[in-house]
Structure 1
């Protein structure tokens, strides 16, 4: 029996597509993954240069959560994009990816947008610690994360964040826009605003972390205001076709409890639907098929689904056995995280129906160094 993965004509995952003005050779996206491999000052390391270059066959790479300012740092060794040194470090990454994609004339390939990389902008809000960032965390309300946070000296109780003032909000929105401009200057084709997984934007969205009584709190239409302002400031800075948004409806990570998820995301997606953004990226998109279908009906542009799956879940006809995401819900691309972590040649393996490497030890994902990061074998080395 023929494996549908070996025949690109029978599987939409391997067909070309387009986001914004960027042509992609396939619909497999490397999802952004925090891996704590940057230097202590937030400058991307040579480990990161190799890691992303090795995965250059992805249709699109969304590089890991990167802080737009110092106070937004979450964990140790998270990259930033708010200093000249950090920008230069990311330039080494994008140059290496372009070279691996077969674009040796780097300056010309930058002009033509031949890199297929976006950078995720992530502000941690209350998820930080002064021992890591040097700053008291900011958040919509002074409500601490109900768990420990990682610091350079190990896990510590989360501090109570400082409630953001109107000036803090304006400054943070401007910092996102400035970070987006730096990202494009560093060679990325665009940026993804991280509105998911309990980071700052979702802290404004969720009713248990947003107790504000001004125009940024209360009803869903007001709780979406900060996210909308950030996305629009970024789009104005670099262009809507270079701007994506990641959301995670009803995901409870980092102590989130949104309360009225359907109303919240109907309002958010409806508000941004006419802005011409590059894409909407939905985390765990297969966990609530009804909401996914509803948001797909509202969203007129490219939709990236980020499900939890293995190779056996990727089926013919461009679908997924878990919910038939591409086909049934209308997702245009599929983002995979741990699959790309453990398989630098994931696209080739899926296309050929080859065995997959499994993530060996989740602990190694965050410990630094080559182990559990750059030592997963590609097919050729496996055969050898």
Structure 2
């Protein structure tokens, strides 16, 4: 056994060691914060999100525990016979402050498609016929990333000329006459129109398109004991279903709007001007869609690319993703993100160097950009600071003879 004096020296040694390690940790944290502060002005490299496997579900926009908590509260409310006050747009009415935003989003989408199609006449777009990879610029890259069934042994891409639809893919959704009505069933999947999801979002937010009529309520719906009660008639008299409908037939040529005619008056040689206006339209479209999705619900399948604009998903049994047999072919609906309705197609960024051919040996030095941003960047438009981290603007690409010298 230790004597009393020995135990005292042992305790003092423990206290000294604890204080010594504590001071060392404090000094290390201060030096780390000073180092981070000194390099805060440098560009932070951002890694693109990893492409999920086919068996993985998309990340939840809202935490799963929060969704479970809301589900428990809704279950309790369904057992209580009382009225719950709903706010627009959940009560069927429009959010008045978002009606101009919906019109701006639809106009920005038209401008973006017009400018992208103009620039695509001068900047080449390629896509791989095997894996669907996209490249912007001429010549196409030689990076061996074609790793799907049916690809070549050396994993090189099989390039073909593409178009605007490859840099701006269109995500479609069922058009709903009543956004609070019942979901589209499996037997109705061929009877309901499918339109671009952004257009459907703008229609539900207040844009009136005669070709796609929708129901506008004058009185809100009520939520009582877990059920929506609508006291309006199903088809009110002032809701003209056939008003302003184009009955000229399928072969009629639609008239171009004044906005499109205004775009056509621009000089075709002003390629940089088209690219800069296209970047402005892209930023306005992205911010407007984010504002609309904060109020208007959009559903996306957790395993495939299906999207449905509205508070609930459709019932069409057409999902062929992971374990679709357990769901009887129905989609695993969850809250959608901005990438579901505006999917970014990332391509390799071609710098301003004279050697525009990207090779496989130097692929770790190349950056990436969304395809439409890369399209406008090669036409002379300035890329914003949001993309500086992914395009690796501060990385100098070495030559083949210098690759082994890079530390």
TM-score (structure 2 length as normaliser): 0.24
Larger strand percent = 1
TM-score, with length taken from structure 1: 0.25
- Greater Rg by CA: 2
